[in-house]
Structure 1
Amino acid sequence: MSSYKVLDVNDDLPIRTKGKVHSGKVRSVYWLTEQDSVRLIEEKGYNIPKDTPLALMVISDRISAFDCIWQGENGLNGVPGKGIALNSVASHWFKLFDEAGLAGNHIVDIPHPYVWIVRKAETVRVEAIARQYITGSMWRDYAKGVRNFCGIDLPEGLEAHQKLDNVLITPSTKGIIKGVPEVPEVDDVNITRENIENNLAAFNFKSASDIDLYEKLLTEGFKLISEQLAELDQIFVDTKFEFGYVEEVDGSQKLIYIDEVGTPDSSRIWDGPAYREGNIVENSKEGFRQLLINNVPDSDVLLNKDRMDEREELAKGYKLPVDVMMQVSNTYVGIASKIVGKQLDIPSDPRQEVIDILDKEYGLID
């Protein structure tokens, strides 16, 4: 039995909000009232327009894979320390991006390791994916004979897990894009640069030059993280970035990084020594995916999108052993501690800590 209280339910905190709480697979977003947004911008001195809507983004310890949430035995309905690991890593990379003169991001304050205060951004509807190695779904398609990925042709003769000559940008849709004939109306479908160029408004880009900018921010951000991980003898394999527009104090519109970057959830990270010996050791969520594939009664349920109903039923009833959940915890907390350069402390009761800080220091608890 784990001694930790995980933050598995994060959409019912007694935070004063405007409208409903939006709960995703891992994070919940609490939009603050106009009065609280204005008050905090003034009280805390945030360098953003005074009428900017603010939200609290509260991360959980839930773990999702194959579009489902998975739980452990004995009521361990999340991975201890996972939330703090993801937030700490993303915040670390955002800080380095700022220092390197790349774009800013949506975070304006970090009240607690599980909580970001973020500014409203107009989301670009592209999942910006960069790949340095051929693995995962790309390798599975390549092995079946596919050679064109998002308008990019790959050569013959590549092997699984091989490093590519260049970082590939293979975007997909964020949400369902309607009215673009060559793009199926489903979430998370691969698209080409040409699709975006010909349909700027559908993908929420302000100008054609911003496509160049997003690609620049994606490749430069990827390069920075890759170089930093190399110093830890870790390999940055692939990742997903997201972008959005915000209004600055001077009234200009600026393209920034949003969501999270370079985390074990949004990226593949491999152990360098193991890779050089011909082995793949995952220091990211991919290891959890492989663990599920190897342990569930029928792995095709996880890999076959036509069996989604069965997959959801499986996820509801399937409980992973506590030691497995703690193994996943060690992976997340271990790689995060390496990246940020210090051992992360896992709160014993993150929920109460969050409520106390938001009450005493931010006046946001009803």
Structure 2
Amino acid sequence: MEATKNTNFQFEKSNGKYEGKVRDVYFFEDKLAIVASDRISAFDVVLKRAIPYKGQVLNQIASKFLQMTADIVPNWVEATPHPNVTVGKKCEAYAVEMVIRGYLAGHAWREYKAGKRMLCGVALPEGLKENDKLPEPIITPTTKAMEGHDEDISREEILAQGIVSEGEYVKLEAYTRALFAAGQAYAADRGLILVDTKYEFGKYDGDIYLIDEIHTPDSSRYFYAEGYQERQDKDEPQKQLSKEFVRKWLIENGFQGQDGQVEPEMSDEFVASVSERYIELFENITGEKFERTSYENREAQMEEAIQKYFG
């Protein structure tokens, strides 16, 4: 099954490359080009198999939402010269990710189920069950690890450690809540619930910018709105669009990224089903038909697009 797992482009004007969990980043003075590969990560581990069209899905969803939210907070993007490529400002990233949750799902639910009633310094009420709506959205930041696992951290710890100044952190919280409200409103119009998501921010010329991707299935969790309450009342799993089903498959197969655990092998059939899930989310969240970009000469086309942009 064709997929873009790695790129190794050479640009005369580039002054470095960074390979993230799922993106290859090429640096150009005060700009950068980000290639969305088809790699997939879970539990902060890059899995062995790549997922066809995943990179294109993420890049195009992110592009759409970054354009839509530019009136809320400026973002790093300047152009998307290829369906898998975005170029823009090289911002100095804050060392925290702003996670915001409207429902008790995923990591928050696993912590709650384990008996914890405090998440990142935020108190959670008793009597909740998986996927219940929270009384109000909560911000549960994590550290941004270059390698290994991101770790939960509280607002108080962030300020005490001087990771972000209080004045800037207040702005990050305000941006996070405004972006989440906009994302939830848009999702509701599409018959979806934006359950939780994360945002990353950086600075450029002294100003705060939204960076990375937003409201994609890698950074967000969506439920179908229709039947949500009925499923909750019957204690049934929610019908969702996110990569949580990949995490659950890994958990069922004894893998959570911990030392000594062996990553299970993904069959071609499972990889294809993951690809279709990503495409399904694209079409549901954007309301647009997904146009599969051919894999023939794809890497060469990406390289050419970046080269042409930077001259």
Letter in 1 for 2:79: D
1:25 to 10, 13, 21: 21
SS in 2 for 1:345: coil
1:327/1:187 Cα in 2 relative to 1: closer, same or farther (>3 Å)? Answer: closer
Letter in 2 for 1:192: S
1:262 to 206, 215, 222: 215
* Superposition TM-score, scaled by structure 1 size: 0.78
Residues 64, 70 of structure 1: 8 Å contact kept = yes
- The aligned residue for residue 195 of structure 1 is 157
Q: Deviations over 1:33-72 (max 9, x none)?
A: x4xxxxxxxxxxxxxxxxxx1111111011111222224x
2:126 to 156, 159, 176: 156
- The aligned residue for residue 228 of structure 1 is 186
1:288/1:187 Cα in 2 relative to 1: closer, same or farther (>3 Å)? Answer: closer
- The aligned residue for residue 48 of structure 1 is none
How far apart, CA to CA, are the structure 1 residues paired with 2:4 and 2:13?
20
1:108/1:235 Cα in 2 relative to 1: closer, same or farther (>3 Å)? Answer: same
How far apart, CA to CA, are the structure 2 residues paired with 1:144 and 1:356?
50
How far apart, CA to CA, are the structure 2 residues paired with 1:66 and 1:190?
13
- The aligned residue for residue 309 of structure 2 is 362
Query: How many Å apart are 1:262 and its aligned residue?
Result: 1.0
Does residue 6 of the first structure (1) align with residue 6 of the second (2)? no
Residues 223, 239 of structure 2: 8 Å contact kept = yes
How far apart, CA to CA, are the structure 2 residues paired with 1:68 and 1:175?
12
- Percent sequence identity is 31
Query: How many Å apart are 1:274 and its aligned residue?
Result: 4.5
- The aligned residue for residue 299 of structure 2 is 351
1:28/1:149 Cα in 2 relative to 1: closer, same or farther (>3 Å)? Answer: same
Structure 2 unpaired stretches of 5+: 232-236
Number of equivalences: 303
- The aligned residue for residue 331 of structure 1 is 277
How far apart, CA to CA, are the structure 2 residues paired with 1:189 and 1:330?
31
SS in 1 for 2:125: coil
- The aligned residue for residue 37 of structure 1 is none
> Which is greater in Rg?
1
Does residue 69 of the first structure (1) align with residue 46 of the second (2)? yes
Residues 196, 221 of structure 2: 8 Å contact kept = yes
1:212 to 163, 166, 170: 170
How far apart, CA to CA, are the structure 2 residues paired with 1:174 and 1:284?
21
1:362/1:160 Cα in 2 relative to 1: closer, same or farther (>3 Å)? Answer: closer
Deviates most, 141-150 or 16-25:
16-25
Structure 1 unpaired stretches of 5+: 35-52, 72-76, 177-185, 248-252
Residues 44, 149 of structure 2: 8 Å contact kept = no
Residues 21, 30 of structure 1: 8 Å contact kept = yes
Query: How many Å apart are 1:358 and its aligned residue?
Result: 3.3
Query: How many Å apart are 1:86 and its aligned residue?
Result: 0.5
Q: How does 1:104-143 map to 2 (within 5 A)?
A: 104-143=74-113
Query: How many Å apart are 1:258 and its aligned residue?
Result: 0.8
How far apart, CA to CA, are the structure 1 residues paired with 2:66 and 2:204?
16
Residues 44, 150 of structure 2: 8 Å contact kept = no
How far apart, CA to CA, are the structure 1 residues paired with 2:309 and 2:114?
54
1:87/1:166 Cα in 2 relative to 1: closer, same or farther (>3 Å)? Answer: same
Shift >4 Å, 4+ stretches: none
1:87/1:322 Cα in 2 relative to 1: closer, same or farther (>3 Å)? Answer: same
1:175 to 145, 152, 160: 145
Letter in 1 for 2:11: I
- The aligned residue for residue 234 of structure 2 is none
Deviates most, 331-340 or 260-269:
331-340
Letter in 1 for 2:36: I
Query: How many Å apart are 1:256 and its aligned residue?
Result: 1.2
Q: Deviations over 1:172-215 (max 9, x none)?
A: 11138xxxxxxxxx852222212223333xx1x3x422211111
Letter in 2 for 1:27: R
How far apart, CA to CA, are the structure 1 residues paired with 2:3 and 2:229?
36
How far apart, CA to CA, are the structure 2 residues paired with 1:115 and 1:259?
12
1:54 to 16, 31, 51: 31
- The aligned residue for residue 285 of structure 1 is 243
Q: Please, what is the CA RMSD of the aligned residues? A: 2.0
SS in 2 for 1:139: helix
Query: How many Å apart are 1:228 and its aligned residue?
Result: 0.6
Query: How many Å apart are 1:147 and its aligned residue?
Result: 1.1
Query: How many Å apart are 1:17 and its aligned residue?
Result: 4.8
How far apart, CA to CA, are the structure 2 residues paired with 1:144 and 1:358?
47
